[in-house]
Amino acid sequence: MTSKKETKSFAYRLISFMFILLVIVFTISIAATRLLVGGVMVSNARDTISSLANEKLLLIDNKLNKLMSLGKSYRNLRELDMLTEAEDRIHIEQMLRDNTEVRSICIAFQPDLGMNSTIWFLESDSLKVKVLTGSDYQFKDWFHIPLLTGREYWSDPWFDADGVRQMISSYSLPLHQGEEIIGMLRLDAALGRLQEVVLPLRIKESGITFLISNNGTIVSHPADSLILNYTIFDLADEYEDLQLRNLGKRMLLGETGFERMLGHSYFQDKWLYFAPMQSNQWVLAIAIDSSEVFADLNSLLLINFLTLLVVFLMICIIIYARTHILSKPLKQLASAAGQIGSGDFDTPIQVSTNIFEIQSLSDSLSLMQSSLREYIENLKQITAEKNQIFNEVMFASTIQKNLIPSNLQLASPVPEIQAYGILEPAGEIGGDLYDYFLIDDHHFCFVIADVLGKGIVAAMTMTMVTTFIRSIAGFRGDSTQIMTELNRFLVKNNLESNFVTIVLGILDLRDGKLCFSNCGHVPVYLRKAGREVVKYGQTHSTALGVFEQIEIGQECLFLNPQDEIILFTDGITEAMSSKEVFFGTERLEEIIKKLYQPNPETTAKAILSGVRLFSDPDKYKDDITILVFKFLHPRRSASNGPDTN
C-alpha cells in the first residue's frame, strides 16, 4: 500500500527553501563575523583597557618610585653620617612636607643596639615624632624580611597602630653600619592614596579595577569586604576556579594578560586584564563584562540579523506573489489534464503565457491530447479484433470439447465397458485428446494422444487426429494400420511440424483381447481386479507426424472382467511440485494401488486429485488428460465368434 505524499504549494516550498538557505547563510555569517571581528574586538578592548591601566600604573609607579628614590637618597645620607640631629629633623620634615606620597618615615634599629627607634609624620601640619616602644617591631614584616634578606622590601598593607594609625604600605631599606645591618629605614605610603588612584577608574559600565599585592592579597577593590581579607587564590578556592588560580600565579610572576573567565567563577563571564607595577610588583587588574567587550560586535550581529530578517520577509512576499501569478496557467493546465483524464479528449487547452517552460508544458499537453485520442481509437480497434479472436478461440474450445466423448452420455458406451475421461487444457484450448468408440459391434476402440505444443495449432492437429482416426478406424483392422495411416497423414498435412504421441487400442468385446500401439506416449497401466497393477511402458514406435517411414508395432493382452486400463498424458507424470520435483510414475502407481473397488470415474478423479495436491499451480502448466475404462465382462451373445487380427 502506498501512502499519498503530502503536497505543499510552490510558494511554501520556495519560502521553506529560502528560509533554510538564509539560516545557513546567517549561521556561517555569524560564525565568520565572530571569528574575524571577535579577535579584533578583543584586541581593541585589550588596547583600550591596557592603555587606561598603564596610565594608572604609571601614576602609581611614579608616586612609589619617587618615594623609593627619596628613601634611597636619605639612606645614603644616613649611612654617610652627613647630617646633624637638627639637620636630620629638618630633612625628614622637608621630605614629609614636599612629598605627599610619604605619609610617615620610621627609623628603627635592632633592639639590642639600645638606640631609639622613631616614627615621623605630619599631623595638623606639624611634625610629630613617636618613639617605638618595646621590641616587637623587629618581628613585623617591614623590619624582619629586609633584615633577613638584606634587600629592600615593599610590605603588604598593614595598620600602623604606633604611628599614623591608618593602613599603610611600607617601603623598607636596610640601614648599614659597615657590613652590618643595624636597622631599617621605612617610608610609608598611605593605602588610601593608592586606592584613590585606582578606584575611580571605571571601564565602560561594568569594568572594575582592583590591586593585588605580591602575595596575592587583594589590596584595593570596590567590595570592601575583600580588601586585605582575601587573596585572589581565596576567591579561586571559594569558587573552585582553577583558571583564576592559574591566572593568579601568572599575576604574581609579573605577567601581563587579558583573558576571558570561563565556567563558574567570581569573575564569571568577564574578561580580566592584569599587569604588574614596576615599583613594588603589585598587580593592577581590571575586570570587564564579556558583553561589553563584544558590545560592538553584538550590535553588528543584531543589525545583520535584522537586515536578514527584513530581506527574508521581502523575499517571502515576492515569492508568494510571483508563484501566485505563475501557478495560474499551471492550474488551467491541471484542469485541462483532469478533463482529458476523465475521457474528454476534445477539451480545449488554451493557456496564455510568456513563460517558456509553461508554454512547452501546454504544447506537450496538446500533443499528448491528440496522441491519446489516436491511441484510444487504435486501442478500440485492436480490442474489437482481439475480442473477435477470443470468441473464435472459445468457439474452437467448445468444438474441441464436443469432439471428445461425454462422460455423462457415454459412461457405458457398451454394456461390457465402463469408461471415464478427463481433459483439462492448460489454456482455453489444448493439444491433448482422448476418444473411444465402437468400430463395429464387437470392437471397442480407444485412443489417447498428446500433440506437441498448445493453442490453436495443437488444437487443430488434435481435431485432425481424432477425425482421422474415427474416419479410418472402421476400415483398418488393427492399431498398427491405423497408426501407420495416421502417421502418413500427419507427415503430409502437419504444416507446423507438430508431432503426436499416441496410444491407440482395440478391444474385442467378446473375449477381452486388447491390442494396442504406443507411439512415443507415456506408459499404459492395467489394474487387475485383484489390485495388481501392470505397467506397459514399451513404445511401439516414435511419435507420429515426424518421419513418414516408420515401423509401428503393437502389443496384445487379454483383459479379465473388472480389469481397468488407465491411460494418461505427460501432463500427469511431468506435473511439478514447488520444489521442482516431477510427479512421476511411482506416485501414480501408489495412487492406483491404493484404490479400493474403483471404477473409472473414481480412478481418474483420484489421479487428478493426487496430481493437484502434489503440484504447484505456478508450475502446473501442461494439459492434463486421463482416460480410464473398465472391462466389465465379455459380450454374452454368442452370435459371432471372436475376430482375428
Partner 1 sequence: MSESTGFPVLGTSLNSSPLRGWVICTALALLACFCVQCTKTSPASGSTPDTTLVFTDQDSLTPVRFRPQWRHQAQFAGVYMALEKGFYRDLGLDVQIQSGGPDDPAYESLVNKSSDIVTLFLSSALSRSTPENPLVNLAQISQKSAIMLVGKRSPSLSQIRDLNGKKAGLWRNDFREPSLIFFREKDLDVQIVPIDWSVNLLLNDAIDVMNVMLYNEYHQVLMAGLDPEEIFEIRLSGAGYNIVEDGIYTTREFFENNTKTCIAFAEATLDGWIYALNHPQETLDVVIRLMRRDHIAANRSHQAWMLDKMKELILAKPDQLGQLTQEDFDFAQNLLFKHGLLSQKIPYRQFFPHDLQERN
Residues interacting with partner 1, by CB under 8 A?
Answer: 136, 139-141, 144-145, 148-149, 153, 155-156, 199, 206, 208, 215-216, 222-226, 228-234, 237-238, 245, 248-249, 252, 266, 289
Q: What share of the chain is helix, strand, coil (3-state, %, to 5)?
A: 45, 20, 30
Smallest distance, partner 1 to C-beta of residue 106, A: 17
Contact (Cβ atoms closer than 8 angstroms) between residue 113 and residue 182? yes
Nearer to partner 1 by Cβ, of 21 and 223: the residue is 223
Nearer residue to partner 1 within complex by CB, 140 or 454: 140
How far apart are CB 282 and partner 1 at their closest, in Å?
14
For partner 1, the closer CB: 95 or 288:
288
Give bridge partners of residue 120 from the DSSP assignment. 105, 129
Cβ 197 to partner 1, closest distance in Å? 15
CB of 202 to partner 1, least distance (A): 9
Nearer to partner 1, 103 or 140 (CB): 140
C-beta of 130 vs 144, nearer to partner 1: 144
The nearer residue to partner 1, 231 or 569, going by C-beta atoms, is 231
Beta carbons within 8 Å of 437's beta carbon, 6+ residues apart: 405, 413, 444, 445, 470, 473
**Whole-number minimum distance, CB 209 to partner 1, in Å?**
10
Min CB(298)–partner 1 separation in Å: 18
Which grid cell is 117? 627607634
The distance of closest approach from Cβ of residue 13 to partner 1 in the complex, given in angstroms and rounded to an integer, is: 49
Nearer to partner 1, 140 or 630 (CB): 140
Helices (H), 137-258: 141-149, 191-198, 232-238, 242-252
Shortest separation between residue 252's beta carbon and partner 1, angstroms = 5
In this structure, what DSSP letter does residue 550 have? -
Smaller CB distance to partner 1: residue 142 or 420? 142
C-alpha cell of residue 503: 496410444
Minimum Å distance from CB 173 to partner 1?
A: 15
Rounded Cα gap, residues 420 and 411, in angstroms: 6
Least distance from partner 1 to the Cβ atom of residue 226, Å? 6
Q: Which is nearer to partner 1, 112 or 551 (CB)?
A: 112
Tell me how many degrees the CA angle 640-600-466 measures, rounded to the nearest 5: 70
Angle at 599 between CA 598 and CA 601, to 5 degrees: 115
Residue 378: exposure state from Cβ atoms within 10 A (0-12, 13-18, ≥19): exposed
In the bound complex, what is the minimum distance in angstroms from residue 324's beta carbon to partner 1?
54
Give 159's contacts (C-beta < 8 A, 6+ positions apart).
Answer: 165, 166, 167, 168
CB of 145 to partner 1, least distance (A): 5
Nearer to partner 1, 149 or 177 (CB): 149
Strand intervals (E) in 524-592: 524-527, 533-536, 555-558, 563-568
Closest by CA to 186, choosing from 217, 215, 146, 228, is: 146
Closer residue to partner 1 in complex, CB, 223/367: 223
Helices and strands: H and E segment counts in the chain? 14, 22
Q: Which of 637, 632, 585, 631 has its CA nearest to residue 611?
A: 585
What are the φ and ψ backbone dihedral angles of 578, each rounded to 5 degrees?
-65, -20
Dihedral of alpha carbons 582, 585, 586, 589, sign: positive
Q: Please state whether 126 falls in left (phi above 0), alpha (psi between -120 and 50) or beta.
A: beta
- State in angstroms the smallest separation of the CB of 128 from partner 1: 24
Minimum CB separation from partner 1 for residue 234, in Å? 5
Complex with partner 1: residue 238 or 392, whichever CB lies closer:
238
In angstroms, what is the minimal distance from the CB of 57 to partner 1?
Answer: 21
Residue 588's nearest CA partner among 506, 539, 501, 527 is 527
Cβ nearer to partner 1, comparing 171 with 230: 230
Nearer to partner 1, 144 or 535 (CB): 144
Residue 489's Cα: distance from chain center in Å? 71
Check: CB of residue 413 under 8 Å from CB of residue 437: yes
Residues 6+ apart with CB under 8 A from 353: 329, 359, 362
Beta carbon nearer to partner 1, 287 or 351? 287
Q: Shortest Cβ distance from residue 51 to partner 1 (Å)?
A: 22
263 and 243 Cβ atoms separated by less than 8 Å: yes
Left if phi > 0, otherwise alpha if psi is -120 to 50, otherwise beta: which for 308? alpha
Locate 612 and state its grid cell: 493437484
Q: How many CB atoms lie within 10 A of CB 415?
A: 11
Closer by beta carbon to partner 1, 69 or else 149: 149
7-12 long-range CB contacts below 8 Å, 24 or more apart?
9/323, 9/327, 10/323, 10/326, 10/327, 11/319, 11/320, 11/323, 11/324
Q: Dump strand ranges (E) for 387-512.
A: 417-424, 432-438, 443-451, 500-508
- Sheet of strand 555-558, all strands in order from the earlier edge strand to the far edge: 432-438, 443-451, 500-508, 513-519, 555-558
